[in-house]
A and B are shown apart, each in its own frame.
Chain A
């Protein structure tokens, strides 16, 4: 994992960093013009969110996109985070980090992408321009610009201003120019990304100023900063052969595999190591971790599955939160109905904890709009970060489409004002690929998503059937009411008694009482069974032609 890519980087010479970047652009999120711009915004926004949360600040982020030229944009991001001190700013914005933050085994947003330095690199490659920044922290205000030295993969920072900051403002401002980009309101674009990020981060205020000058503001709906994720050790059941080898070969401080296992994995006790040893007597658990071979590691993984482990801790899973999702949906989509599930963490692959949050919003601005038509929208998240790409093949998309929506009074999912929000939270989100834009269809994950959405759908069904009943009652009332006037006239005439106006009132009252009541009488509303006499105008005379 991390070490491999580290090695790759160190082995490259000269322009190799740029070369590597270009070659792997796709994998790093810079494929397609719309997607590239989204990736840039994504890198900055997630950094801002993570930094503010870590510092205990309620995030406020403004993103501004200007169109400079055809397929050339200026992206400006201002946050209210802690800012970046001088000694870190170069590394944060100008050094390509190999790998990810994966090694921390904590659930974080920034698991995707390659960070702000990747954006600097992209600016450099496509426009040749550095990225400007203003960092305010403690009592300093630092302005300048940064590029990546492609020979050494180290940052080149030019400071234009270093001033005092007596008001103790804090925050980071970045400003870069990027080409081979495209701004649009498609479901892969920045617009949708910001909206979805705002949905999943109700404690943040996010504003987007589009190239057209239009301002989309998503004010916070909740003012509690999410708890910091707790780093956890991997559980034996969530581990692959490769993982073990990687870890074992980088643990020189342990002299024995057995102590490495006990100290680096969750739920592995001395007793469990003995159990394990009994299953694989031919693997020497007393040798150094660095000497562990691939076949041995393979056996070990198989053996892990045969030992009964305590389930992994689930407190490392950090959901968005039921209340937060609800407020957020109400805030942003203004729907007529919201249903959010609150489910306990589940396990996939025998031991990896994950948790699915599902929510349905119906009415208001829920659903996606294509021209004048509204259709069902699936809003996917992994650990609260929006998944915009690789829609097909994602476990979320697939399980939502698999649901028989008719059962829940949604006649056609593609034509209703409904948004389905699903967040899969886990230390190890099972992504389909390195692009980390889709969740693989692990059976347990797939089923849990489906069950969660169906749970939310049941609430929606109750809501909709209530609406249907009420609408139905109103329809029935109106259907009978329209005949009252004529009947009142005829009936008073026929009986030669009473006044039409008075009868009109009485009949209206009668109808109101029947169709307003919560309990309808059990009268069969079906068409009367009789009255089907043939009644041809000449009775039977037509029957025989003469």
Chain B
């Protein structure tokens, strides 16, 4: 997983998998059997936290969908249609979004039938996930893009062979904007140089801009990433790849349930993306701040708390119920503090004393190893 194959050979492999799925169905039909499609179940009952590896993954339960079954026929046909369409994208080396795919497949099934292959995107989205999980692929492998989100800067050079053209991306030379993380950081994307000591993920773009302006990544020799809120698949995947290069990963978010949730999604993966399991989880990640404890440690923060919103409270309660979170007493304590004080602190508050205090704060935390697990 460390070094990805080149784009072309990877595409060939995926096409092979898709064709294999089709051939298997044809074999079933020749055996006078209904063609079927089996995929691990993605419902909550089949989602587990794997304590040994530290990420959320799917269990063993599987679902088989048959064509000759009234309740499943339409979905079955749709799944095959998606598989076939993706195979075409791969053959043509063209990419689209899941919405683009939906529009490609939104057509009438025939003049005599008052029915479309797909009429809502909500029909195609889960079937894409079914294909991903059944074939052990990510949608990016099927040439389906997700929205790009997240920015990176730091001592890292990437070689991108997207669209058959080679581009070298030097993340040290991205100026004030940084390099926007694409939806697919695997296919046709090679990390050529990486001389950082660690990875710093900051929740907010504003913080990233602060630290970038302070040349923090250059001074500290780190890769500076902002997912701009919840981390996208591409962003999470990049963090995973960097962690695999033995770089420590520190996450720095608001001191509230939402910020912490962003951390946990990066660390353990999430229930919705459990089917991607270890490919997007970074159990090695550590939480740097902001913490409730910081209010004790930094006097000025006491003045800068704001009232927690209902959503914060709700999310805190929910997180307390997750075994992979509440098994850490430090985290249980943090969350309970949110519930009792009903307060939160934003990262931005660290600019309180002076703008560059943020950098000092991060430096001190790393030096003193003041992390939460």
Asked if A92 is at the interface (CB within 8 A of a chain B CB), the reply is no
Q: How far is the CA of A183 from the CA of B300 in the complex (A)?
A: 101
Q: How far is the CA of A144 from the CA of B116 in the complex (A)?
A: 80
Residues in B whose Cβ lies below 8 Å from that of A537: 98-99, 121, 125
Asked if B304 is at the interface (CB within 8 A of a chain A CB), the reply is no
* Chain A binder among B74-82, B188-196, B240-248: B74-82
A308 to chain B, nearest CB (A): 63
Q: Which of B19, B42, B98, B258 contacts A531 (CB under 8 A)?
A: B42
B68 and A511 within 8 A (CB) = yes
* Given known contacts A494-B80, A514-B68, A540 and B18 CB-to-CB distance under 8 angstroms: no
Q: How far is the CA of A492 from the CA of B128 in the complex (A)?
A: 20
Q: How far is the CA of A476 from the CA of B229 in the complex (A)?
A: 48
Asked if B149 is at the interface (CB within 8 A of a chain A CB), the reply is yes
* Chain A binder among B31-39, B161-169, B351-359: B31-39
A494 and B18 within 8 A (CB) = yes
* Given known contacts A495-B26, A496-B22, A528 and B65 CB-to-CB distance under 8 angstroms: yes
- How many A residues touch B, CB cutoff 8 Å? 46
Q: How far is the CA of A507 from the CA of B76 in the complex (A)?
A: 13
Asked if B104 is at the interface (CB within 8 A of a chain A CB), the reply is no
Interface residues of A in 381-429 (CB under 8 A from B): none
Asked if A185 is at the interface (CB within 8 A of a chain B CB), the reply is no
Residues in A whose Cβ lies below 8 Å from that of B146: 538-539
* Given known contacts A532-B42, A533-B126, A534-B272, A494 and B84 CB-to-CB distance under 8 angstroms: yes
Asked if B21 is at the interface (CB within 8 A of a chain A CB), the reply is yes
Residue interface mask A506-543, B partner, CB < 8 A = 1: 11001101100000000101111111111111111101
Q: How far is the CA of A523 from the CA of B66 in the complex (A)?
A: 10
Asked if B136 is at the interface (CB within 8 A of a chain A CB), the reply is no
Q: Is the interface of A mostly helix, strand, loop or mixed?
A: loop
Name the residue of chain A whose CB is nearest to the CB of B206: A546
Asked if B130 is at the interface (CB within 8 A of a chain A CB), the reply is yes
Q: How far is the CA of A254 from the CA of B355 in the complex (A)?
A: 133
A483 and B109 within 8 A (CB) = yes
Residues in A whose Cβ lies below 8 Å from that of B67: 480, 483, 487, 507
Q: Which of B73, B80, B147 contacts A479 (CB under 8 A)?
A: B73
* Given known contacts A530-B43, A533-B126, A544 and B70 CB-to-CB distance under 8 angstroms: no
Q: How far is the CA of A497 from the CA of B24 in the complex (A)?
A: 11
* Given known contacts A530-B43, A533-B272, A485 and B29 CB-to-CB distance under 8 angstroms: no
Number of A-B residue pairs with CB-CB distance less than 8 Å in the complex they form: 163
Residues in A whose Cβ lies below 8 Å from that of B64: 528
Name the residue of chain B whose CB is nearest to the CB of A482: B113
A482 and B71 within 8 A (CB) = no
A485 and B272 within 8 A (CB) = no
Q: How far is the CA of A514 from the CA of B69 in the complex (A)?
A: 9
A480 and B68 within 8 A (CB) = yes
* Given known contacts A535-B125, A539-B233, A491 and B69 CB-to-CB distance under 8 angstroms: no
Residues in B whose Cβ lies below 8 Å from that of A533: 42-43, 126, 129-130, 272, 275
Q: Which of A486, A529, A535, A544 contacts B41 (CB under 8 A)?
A: A529
Q: How far is the CA of A479 from the CA of B233 in the complex (A)?
A: 38
Residues in B whose Cβ lies below 8 Å from that of A162: none
B80 and A535 within 8 A (CB) = no
Name the residue of chain A whose CB is nearest to the CB of B149: A541
Asked if B361 is at the interface (CB within 8 A of a chain A CB), the reply is no
Name the residue of chain B whose CB is nearest to the CB of A513: B32
Asked if B262 is at the interface (CB within 8 A of a chain A CB), the reply is yes
B75 and A480 within 8 A (CB) = no
A527 and B71 within 8 A (CB) = yes
Asked if A71 is at the interface (CB within 8 A of a chain B CB), the reply is no
Asked if A490 is at the interface (CB within 8 A of a chain B CB), the reply is yes
Name the residue of chain A whose CB is nearest to the CB of B35: A491
Name the residue of chain B whose CB is nearest to the CB of A506: B29
Q: Which of B46, B129, B204, B265 contacts A540 (CB under 8 A)?
A: B265
Residue interface mask B196-222, A partner, CB < 8 A = 1: 000000001100000000000000000
Q: How far is the CA of A497 from the CA of B72 in the complex (A)?
A: 24
Residues in A whose Cβ lies below 8 Å from that of B109: 482-483, 485-486
Q: How far is the CA of A506 from the CA of B28 in the complex (A)?
A: 11
Residues in B whose Cβ lies below 8 Å from that of A495: 19, 22-23, 25-26
B39 and A530 within 8 A (CB) = yes
B41 to chain A, nearest CB (A): 4
A526 and B74 within 8 A (CB) = no
Asked if B175 is at the interface (CB within 8 A of a chain A CB), the reply is no
A491 and B25 within 8 A (CB) = yes
B149 to chain A, nearest CB (A): 7
Residues in B whose Cβ lies below 8 Å from that of A528: 63-65, 71-72, 75
Q: How far is the CA of A498 from the CA of B67 in the complex (A)?
A: 18
13 contacts between A and B (CB under 8 A): A490-B77, A490-B83, A495-B26, A510-B32, A530-B41, A530-B46, A531-B39, A533-B130, A533-B272, A534-B126, A537-B121, A537-B125, A539-B233
Cβ-closest 6 pairs across A and B: A495-B22, A535-B125, A530-B63, A494-B22, A533-B42, A530-B41
Seen from chain B, the residues whose Cβ lies within 8 Å of a Cβ on chain A are 18-19, 21-23, 25-26, 29-30, 32-35, 39, 41-43, 46, 61, 63-77, 80-81, 83-84, 87, 98-99, 109-110, 113, 115, 117, 121-122, 125-130, 146-147, 149, 204-205, 228-230, 232-233, 258, 261-262, 265, 270, 272-273, 275
Apart from the given pairs A486-B77, A528-B75, A531-B42, 15 other A-B contacts in the complex at a CB distance below 8 Å: A482-B109, A486-B81, A491-B26, A492-B26, A494-B19, A495-B23, A496-B22, A497-B26, A511-B68, A527-B72, A530-B39, A530-B61, A541-B230, A541-B232, A543-B230
